[in-house]
Chains A and B, each alone.
Chain A
Amino acid sequence: MTISEPLSLKNKASNIGFIFFGLIGILPFVAAFVYALLYSFGLVGAANSGFTTEFWISTWQSGAFIKSLVYSTVVAGTSIFISVSIALWLTLKFRKELEHPILAFAMYLPLAIPGIVAAFFTFQLLAKAGFFSRIAYAFGWITEARQFPDLVNDPYAIGIIATFISIVTPFLLLLFLNVYKNERVDELAQLSQSLGANKQQTVWRVSLPVVLNKTWTLIGLYFIFLLGAYEVPLILGQESPQMLSVLIIREIKQYDLSRLSEGYVVAVIYTVIVTTAAVLLFSRKNDVKHEG
């Protein structure tokens, strides 16, 4: 009796916990997805009158989604690639110097800057009348603001990529420095050199593989976050093509009710892509470990 009582209490508490988890953790996600799916097929929504595949066909034919998907993938991929490269280079070249207290603190400072502030700052620097344009004027390189190249709201997403890099690189640098220390990569590198490997071989075959192997899940996670980024492309992007989140919100929030369903089509496809990516990332790999 004395044993079964706490056990049943335990089960009760655990069940309440699971119900809560289901209500807050799972139900909203499922509800959001089902609602978007029904809307995309015309089954719900003020302007819709019944099942139709019309919105899926028109979304496909307009090409806006495919353009946006390719654009977002290229922007996110480029930003991640450059950020990983810079962070790895800094880790391998300066890891000892970065242990200095001032530098160690400075490396953390960019984490205090949210996306919307980073985008605002990039705009202030790179816009036609921005800080860099003023410097170019002071040096006599330009005589009018409009001569300054398009670096924000531009077709090559230079402003967006620059902002993404400035957000992601500090995080990756700290992550790589952590892994470098925890995995004792220095000792492994020394061992490989004592076994006859040269510097180049040690970097490419020991240090980099160890660091990347330990962090690729988080790099993948970051890629997914950038793919769905909103405020940075909203401030620094152009009219067309737009990044996925901006496109979805533009379609869903506009007054033309007939276009609303197309917005939900894109939201459904985006959700499927992202959840598939999450399954691929996390079902094969160990859980992301946190330092306690």
Chain B
Amino acid sequence: MSSMKANWKFFFLAALVILVVFPFAYLLLLSMASEWRFPELWPAYFGMRNWEQVVSSETGLISSFLVSTGISFSVATMSTFIGFFISRGIAYHPYKRTITLLTYFPYILAPVVFAACLSYFFLKLGLFGKPVGVFVAQFMVAFPYALIFFSSFWGEKTKSYEELVATLGGNQLQAFRKVLLPIAKNMLIICFFQTFLISWFEYGLTSIIGVGKVQTLTIKVFLFIKESNFYYGALSCCLLILPPVLLLYINKRYVFNKLI
């Protein structure tokens, strides 16, 4: 009886693993396929042709990959560092709770709606349809996340460290450089990767502010879907999934985001 139960559990968990791995395998298969018409269960062509074309031709996927990487890297760097320093002021503020609540507003609103309501200002500032505009808009979403993320870092412990540095004659800069930043190193890395992924996965806001001119990978996926070019769509999906899978492999906590 108990072996039957163990068997049932084993098969169920094996099925669960297959279920989890299936999307990755299917998208990879689709990215390597072509002429895969209904009702065929296997594509007429299967090979590296699509991938070779991506490297050599004008699909623009390589440039999209670079644009996405550049924007996400900038958003992650800026929001992590600025978020870290500003979250300190909020954490020690007497109205900490109210300010934290305010921080949630831009973060909780659907980014696409936020962008649509802000598009007038982006147009006036000349940021519409430019990578820098997409960067600013994404930063507005990633920055509150970083503030919320670091809110649990600051407390009595960090305060007492800062006081200790001051007692020993150190200034604020030294307190940050020699004590606070080294303690926060792990959190800074996690926040960096999570804000990187917020930007990397972003579609709606980018489509509004970028107006199709800033073609990040998510925009490309959607364009290929609209063109019914599912093979290139799947290929873009593979490129989109690659960095987070690598991050997961390095450290699971870089991707598991408790706030999203």
Contacts and interface: CB of A to CB of B under 8 A. Distances in A.
Interface string A85-109: 0000000001001000011111111
A206 interface: no
Interface in B225-242: 225, 230, 233-234, 237, 240-241
B129 interface: no
Interface residues of A, number: 88
A231 B222 contact: yes
B114 A133 contact: no
B41 interface: yes
B108 interface: yes
Nearest to A109: B20
Interface stretch (B44-52, B54-62, B136-144): B136-144
A232 B200 CA distance: 16
A13 B172 contact: yes
Interface string A227-263: 0111100010000000011001100110000000001
Nearest to A271: B109
B258 A35 contact: no
B118 A120 contact: no
B179 interface: no
A135 B148 contact: no
Contacts of B245: 109, 112
Contact of B109 (A35, A94, A274): A274
Interface residues of B, number: 86
B65 interface: no
Contacts of A230: 110-112, 203-204
B30 interface: yes
A9 B172 contact: yes
The 5 residue pairs across chains A and B that have the minimum distance between CB atoms: A228-B110, A32-B117, A114-B201, A112-B244, A137-B39
Interface of A: 6, 9-10, 13-14, 17-18, 20-21, 24-26, 28-29, 31-33, 35-36, 94, 97, 102-118, 120-121, 123-125, 129, 131, 133-135, 137-138, 145, 170-171, 174-175, 218, 221, 224-225, 228-231, 235, 244-245, 248-249, 252-253, 263-264, 267, 270-271, 274-275, 277-279, 282-283, 287-292
8 contacts: A106-B21, A133-B38, A174-B256, A218-B258, A221-B259, A244-B113, A253-B116, A278-B108
Given A29-B105, A248-B112, A263-B116, 12 more contacts: A20-B86, A25-B144, A110-B20, A111-B244, A115-B201, A115-B203, A117-B240, A121-B27, A134-B39, A134-B41, A274-B109, A292-B186
